[in-house]
Structure 1
Amino acid sequence: MFRIACEGILAIKALHYNIRSWVLGLVPYLIMSYYCMDVLATLMNYRLVSAEKAVVLDVADVFGYIYTAFDALLTSAAVALILVRGKEETGVMMLLIGSVIHRLLFTVWIHVYHSLLNDCLDVGSLLVLLATRVYLRDRKEWPRLAVKKFEFILLAGRIGLSSIYISWLEEIINPIPSFLSLALLSSMVLGIKCRAASYLTALVILYHDVLSAHFWFLWGWNDALLSLEHLSLLLCKIGGFLLLSQLGAGKCSLDRYLSRTPETKKQMGNYRHTKSSAYVL
């Protein structure tokens, strides 16, 4: 009986390890699918998109065509660097630069607050993706490399993803209870049970975007390409939280501080005891 129980525990651990490997390996493709669909939608409606941007900038149409081509090429190159060449830092930086340029040029300042919330969510997903790649690539060398970089990127990504809860709180038709959004927001920002909160958030996103009245954002369009673009955005949001559920909150969290306090005190006590003994000797 004991042997069967041990084999069952080992099988569960092996399954958990496999799921973790699948999530860390496959979810980045879900996040990049949003940017691939953005490029595809731009190319399919190139003239219309270029004309709209020229009108917003109040410039000649040729400048709208040039900027649209530049934006599509920049995004395509960044996705290729991340998924094909494995150069995540360069690719993510290019996507962030493109996002900043787009926001500066095309922001409707009346709605700048909501635009920044959406940008924070996109940036959070990209930063968590970058933290995942750093974790997978450099963890054997962490005693001397990438520790501070990983923790800073993970903290920034965690805070960026937290913007989704603020968006839920400000919705007029909100299928998510306010107390749940506030609890998840506090858990994510402070780093309390971040893994469980990330899993729960992924489920809440599915309910919010697919099962509630907001489902028409996915399927309520006459343009199938636009529906696919919103679907890829849904996958991008879920992917960011799934990656965070595997990485955890990191060292910059309340959970890590509370869990390390007793150990730190014990180590300091032993250290003082050793020094006192040395002086006595």
Structure 2
Amino acid sequence: MVSKTINTLRREIRPLVLKCMPYFVMSYYFLEVLYSVVNTPLVGRERAIVLDVNELFGHFYTAFDVLLTTGAIFLILGTRKEASGVTLLLIGRAVHRLFFSIWTMFFYFLFNDSLDVGSLLLLMAAKMNLREQKDWFQSKYHLLLLGGRLCLCSLFIMWMDEGLETLFSIVSFGLLVFISLGFRCKLFAFLAVAALLYHDVFSNHWSMLWGWNDTLLSIQYFSLLFCKIGGFLMLTELGGGRWSLDGLRKRNGEKWEQKGNYRIIKSQTSA
């Protein structure tokens, strides 16, 4: 009875997670746009100083970035062309990194952006799942799950690089191994959400969320946390896909089941 109730709740909650988490992911990009619009003079001036160009170009680039991101958000959340929207976001992010990256911190930015890419890939997979297109575009669907899963693992690499307490580093390494291999992916994705909340909220990193004089900037960092959580929660529902240890175990189980059915039919026929 209890098991049946849990399964019923799971069937009801699963579509809600896949429907709501894309909004969690996109909230970060929406807040980026909002911050740029509200602080347009400051943002444009800062970018012009970094690029060592005329201030007018800084404002022009800011307007371009806002329009590009706004269009991408609309395509992802308001239409069925989420692939085009994700492409626009990735183009904007690539241009931004090309202009504003500190190249001595290249790998930090690489892993940080990989985390965003992972959430976006899983968002596309979730949209396909909701439209029940995963059977029609099976290879693409499982590639999205594989790419999203591996990109999300960049978070654990950054945690280990921070040199946190030994226990948390061990947890990070375990999550990195199990999620990257796709072993018990749904379970370890849940554990990753718990570790993420501990790292960003309950540990000494809490000041990165609300330790700012700018309220809008604090909200933007909260939205970044929601973006990360959204990615891992989508992974809890979508699983590791075909190219994971979970997928391999499932295929092997199906083969053994088919062989068992074949033996039963064969024995009945011979009898």
Question: Fold conserved (TM > 0.5)?
Answer: yes
**Structure-to-structure mapping, 1:94-243, within 5 angstroms:** 94-139=88-133, 142=135, 145-174=136-165, 177-243=168-234
Structure number with larger C-alpha Rg: 1
Question: When the two structures are aligned, how many residues end up with a matched partner?
Answer: 263
Whether contact under 8 Å (2:51, 2:100) holds in the other structure is yes
Alpha-carbon offset, residue 177 of structure 1? 1.7
1:204-227 CA-to-partner distances (Å, cap 9, x unmatched) read 111111111100001111111110
Match of 2:69 in 1: 75
Match of 1:86 in 2: 80
Whether contact under 8 Å (2:211, 2:218) holds in the other structure is yes
Tell me, in whole angstroms, the C-alpha distance in 1 between the residues paired with 2:3 and 2:259. 36
Tell me, in whole angstroms, the C-alpha distance in 2 between the residues paired with 1:60 and 1:165. 40
Alpha-carbon offset, residue 9 of structure 1? 3.8
Whether contact under 8 Å (1:199, 1:241) holds in the other structure is yes
Alpha-carbon offset, residue 86 of structure 1? 3.4
Q: TM-score, normalised by structure 2?
A: 0.91
Q: TM-score, normalised by structure 1?
A: 0.88
Tell me, in whole angstroms, the C-alpha distance in 1 between the residues paired with 2:261 and 2:11. 36
Segments of structure 2 that go 5 or more residues without pairing to the other structure are 266-271
Tell me, in whole angstroms, the C-alpha distance in 2 between the residues paired with 1:263 and 1:34. 41
Whether contact under 8 Å (1:89, 1:130) holds in the other structure is yes
SS of the equivalent of 2:99 reads helix
SS of the equivalent of 2:240 reads coil
Q: What is the RMSD computed on CA atoms of the aligned residues?
A: 2.0
Tell me, in whole angstroms, the C-alpha distance in 1 between the residues paired with 2:166 and 2:256. 45
Whether contact under 8 Å (1:42, 1:72) holds in the other structure is yes
Segments of structure 1 that go 5 or more residues without pairing to the other structure are 275-281
SS of the equivalent of 1:138 reads coil
**Structure-to-structure mapping, 1:49-64, within 5 angstroms:** 49-64=43-58
Whether contact under 8 Å (1:126, 1:157) holds in the other structure is yes
